[in-house]
Amino acid sequence: MSDPRIELYETYKKAIFLYLYRSTMNQHIAEDLTQDTFLKAFHSLSSYRGESSLKTWLFKIARNTYINFSKKKQNKIEFQSDLIDEQWAEQPDQYKRSDDQNQIELTLLQLPENYRTYIILRDANGLSYEEVAFVTNETIGQVKVGLYRARKKFKEIYRNLEEGE
Distance CA 55, CA 63 (A): 12
Model confidence band, residue 154 (pLDDT cutoffs 50, 70, 90): very high
Estimate the crossing angle of helix 4-24 against helix 54-73, to 10 degrees: 50
Q: How many CA atoms lie within 13 A of 11 on its CB side?
A: 11
Mean pLDDT value across residues 108-113: 92
- Mean pLDDT in the chain? 85
Mean pLDDT value across residues 112-119: 95
Model confidence band, residue 47 (pLDDT cutoffs 50, 70, 90): confident
Distances (CA, A) of 159 to 43, 153, 164: 43, 10, 9
113 has pLDDT over 80: yes
Structure confidence by residue, pLDDT tens digits, 135-150: 999 999 999 999 999 9
Model confidence band, residue 133 (pLDDT cutoffs 50, 70, 90): very high
Distances (CA, A) of 46 to 12, 43, 59, 97: 18, 8, 17, 39
Torsion angles phi and psi, residue 98, rounded to 5: -110, 165
Structure confidence by residue, pLDDT tens digits, 48-99: 888 889 999 999 999 999 999 988 875 444 444 444 444 444 444 444 456 6
